[in-house]
Amino acid sequence: MKNVKQRKMMLVLPLLVIPFLTMAFWALGGGGTKAASSETAKGLNLDLPNANLKEDKLLDKLGFYDKADKDSLKMEEWMRSDPYFKRDTVPAEIYPNELQDLTTTTASKFNQRLNTSPYEKGGNNPEDQIMQKLKLLENEMNRNTASTYDDPLKERNPDNEFSSEVDRLEQLLKVNNTGSNDDPEIKQLEGTLDKILDIQHPQRVKERSIKNKEAVYAVRRTSGADTIVKGFYSYSDDKEFEEQNAVEAVVYGNQVLVNGSVVKFRLLNDVYVKGQLIKSGTYINGIASLNNERLEIEINSIRYGKSLYSVKMEVYDIDGLPGIYIPCAITRDAAKQAADNSLSLMDMTSVDPSLKGQATATGIGAIKNLLSKKTKLVKVTVKSGYKVLLKDKNQD
């Protein structure tokens, strides 16, 4: 009985469950997915179609080159069969892109002009053109060598041959001097001739080296570009820039000087030497020489960092005259001269002519020479901070 009831329940259960499942399916949106998807599809289509290569699907890079060669062969066949295609019949004609056309691939090699006759032979073979031009060059070279060397089997003296070459170069220079001086070939010939003359005359090299050693550099207050760039531009008229031809400096420390002493200065302005900026506050030295009431000082070199620059500068006082003014220098010079004369007038004849007297005379003579040398040295004192002007002798 239980089994029979169970079977009946199983038969009736689907009839009760299926309607409920169907209603739940429709309630959850079943059956309308296509319409929903069509409504939500907006924006760009991100799906790209595949490439349609047709018969070229299996070709690689080499295959495309082979295909281009085949197309070129087809184009050549069409040109041969075309009665109105004309090839270039002038092999010696030179057109601008000739080298480029000779080196192009076979795909672009047949861009020629029309031919009036299908039986006319083309004369635009690249190999023939190259060979013809090589022959022309060879003929020109043979003609030049034949004119230069008339008798190559004739024995020549090396010295005479060398001298003849030098003479020939000089003649070429004289002939070409009438033309433009900017010719690079003339400059090359001049350089070659100078080298040959340097080999024959080594003293020319020594003279040039001595001149280079004597070269000095100009000293300027500005580099040249500062006057153009570093300025304020307004609507008013531009004022002319007055270039200063002197550099301000001061004496560094109290110094007692004689002829040949070294005087130390400190720069108050920035200067440029050979394009190098030498800042203010740099110390420079000069050699002093006393001339009446003026202490003349010359500066021959400037050291900046680890570099030395050869210059030629002279010290001027603030009165505009060369040298530093030293008052009463003539009076001191006269006093020193008088003392020197008094020492020279000392008479040593009264000394005993014995050995002891001779030794005494020798000692007195040495002291006399020492005192005379000291009296000849005129000493002057220059105070610290004394302002001077340094002028470059290379500037006019």
pLDDT tens digits along 38-93: 556 677 888 888 877 666 566 788 888 888 999 999 998 888 888 877 654 444 44
Domain boundaries, the chain: 64-133
User: Comparing C-alpha atoms, which of 317, 304, 310, 369 is closest to residue 343?
Assistant: 369
Local confidence pLDDT in tens for the 396 residues of the chain: 778 888 888 888 888 888 888 888 888 877 665 555 555 667 788 888 887 766 656 678 888 888 899 999 999 888 888 887 765 444 444 444 554 555 554 444 544 444 445 545 555 567 777 888 888 888 888 776 555 545 444 445 555 666 777 777 777 777 666 555 556 777 777 888 787 877 777 777 777 666 655 566 677 776 555 545 555 555 555 544 456 788 999 999 999 888 889 999 999 999 988 888 899 999 999 999 888 888 899 999 999 988 888 899 999 999 999 999 888 655 555 555 555 555 555 554 444 556 555 556 666 666 656 555 554 567 888 999 999 999 988 875
**Dihedral class, residue 7 (left if φ above 0, else alpha if ψ from -120 to 50, else beta):** alpha
Compute the distance between CA of residue 312 and CA of residue 334 in angstroms, rounded to an integer: 32
Beta carbons of 132 and 91 less than 8 angstroms apart: yes
285 sits in which H/E element:
strand 283-291
Compute the distance between CA of residue 213 and CA of residue 396 in angstroms, rounded to an integer: 22
Interval 373-394: pLDDT, tens = 554 567 888 999 999 999 988 8
CA dihedral sign, ordered 365, 370, 374, 376: positive
